[in-house]
Amino acid sequence: NAGVTQTPKFQVLKTGQSMTLQCAQDMNHNSMYWYRQDPGMGLRLIYYSASEGTTDKGEVPNGYNVSRLNKREFSLRLESAAPSQTSVYFCASSARRMNTEAFFGQGTRLTVV
């Protein structure tokens, strides 16, 4: 029972490079999320997808794009990485109900130099 799987776990990019973070869930959840975690700031929502075929911006969407490839997969793309995007990125999924919790992946630690 894998839950939410993120790849890669670690990545170092040079400024200006692009990359895609992959996320897949096997719990048949409708909603998926991308968060970034920075010291002292908690988790901030980058983008979310309420259901297959829809995506919406969260608190900090600038510099990112997302694709909800199908119900299982939700990818996050950095087109031109900047040092300010150095962070730990978490993917999460949940059933589309208010009283249900989100399940998180193990995170991707990204460093942009």
- Which residues would be at the binding site for other proteins (CB under 8 A)? 4, 31, 33, 35, 40-45, 48, 50, 58, 90, 92, 94, 96-99, 101-107
Kindly tell me which of 17 and 72 has the beta carbon lying closer to other proteins.
72
> Which candidate, 67, 62, 58, places its Cα nearest to that of 80?
62
What 8-state DSSP symbol labels residue 5? Answer: E
Kindly tell me which of 14 and 97 has the beta carbon lying closer to other proteins.
97
Compute the least distance from the CB of residue 16 to other proteins, in Å: 28
CA distance 46 to 95: 19
Which residues have a Cβ under 8 Å from the Cβ of 84 and sit 6 or more positions away?
Answer: 63, 112
Compute the least distance from the CB of residue 35 to other proteins, in Å: 8
Compute the least distance from the CB of residue 29 to other proteins, in Å: 11
Kindly tell me which of 10 and 14 has the beta carbon lying closer to other proteins.
10
